Structure 1
Amino acid sequence: MTKAVIIILMFCSLKALAQNNEQENVRTTIETFFEGFHKQDSTVIKQVVADNIILQSIGRDKNGNTIIKSDEFSQFLKSIVSIPSTVTFEEKILGYNIQIDGNMANVWTPYEFWLNDQFSHCGVNSFQLVKMNDAWKIIYLIDTRRKEGCEY
């Protein structure tokens, strides 16, 4: 092997390792978000989101038409922390598809939502993240919600 080939192989290996580390950092950001969500801890959630985060959900109205609902982040936090202790809930993440380009990342996470140990609905979360000051922050979260067709 020539020195040039060895240098190219080393460079490619380092680049792949850096990409894997960034994917792990992005995944940790999403996992931290859900840790705060499940613990109903707004301070944990706030650590991994940007100040101007956008929250939206895609669903259907009573006539079956597609609708997009936008939520204020402060209202989202209030709703999470105000869930009574008698209510149990869990959003089970079924997988992660992480794509990164420079300081931008997208994470696609199919999920099931369980309320009081009963299946409620399923869907997919799509997170958009930006790396700011060496930390990944969620800037946009949109999800789908449905009760049927939930086999992933």
Structure 2
Amino acid sequence: MMHKFALAAALTLAAPVAAAPAASAASANDTGTVLAVIDSWFAAMRAKDRPAFEVVMQAESTFIAMRRTADGWTQVRRNRSELADALLTRPGEIIERFIERPTVLVHGPIATVWGRYEIGIDGKRLHCGVDSFNLIKDGVGWKIANASWTIEPEGCPK
């Protein structure tokens, strides 16, 4: 009797998983568009083009950088304007890029992009780490809602 109950319970609990809908075709097609937003952001940073840098972000976007130190991690939090001031006024050409294919998850009007990156100025690497972007699809298109990243000066791939 206990075996029949356990079997019935297992089948009942498994049923919702089997019936879960697959990702929509639109979500799969949005992956390239979402990555293009991040690529545009990196390109605007490189060109020091503030309007292009800000247009791909929501006005109320927030950004958190987590810097690895000998004592652990420190946090720097900025809004869109503060981040533009900090990055786009630095001397030299800033190049940020993913060093491996990032993971992109899309569901309806939300998306997450997560991947390892490196950043340098004038061809000299500053550090590497992990970028984590959250995007929202509004009436205009995909926009960066917030991002966080680690700043890891040691252990970058060659």
Asked if these proteins are the same fold (TM beyond 0.5), I'd say yes
Alpha-carbon separation, structure 2, partners of 1:41 and 1:98? 26
Give unpaired runs (5+ residues) of structure 1. Answer: 1-11
TM-score (norm 1): 0.79
**Which runs of structure 2 are paired with 1:28-107 in the superposition (5 Å)?**
28-61=36-69, 63-84=70-91, 87-94=92-99, 95-107=101-113
Q: Deviations over 1:45-100 (max 9, x none)?
A: 12211010001011234x5122221013212212333223xx23211222221001
Alpha-carbon separation, structure 2, partners of 1:43 and 1:30? 15
Query: Aligned-residue CA RMSD in angstroms?
Result: 2.1
Q: Which residue identity does 1:127 align to in structure 2?
A: F
Larger radius of gyration: 2
Q: How many residues align?
A: 136
Give unpaired runs (5+ residues) of structure 2. Answer: 1-21
The ranges of structure 1 where at least 4 consecutive aligned residues each deviate by more than 6 angstroms after the TM superposition are: none
Secondary structure of the corresponding residue to residue 149 of structure 1: coil
Alpha-carbon separation, structure 1, partners of 2:114 and 2:93? 25
Q: Which residue of 1 aligns with 2:13?
A: none
TM-score (norm 2): 0.77
Q: CA deviation at 1:43?
A: 0.6
Q: Which residue identity does 1:72 align to in structure 2?
A: N
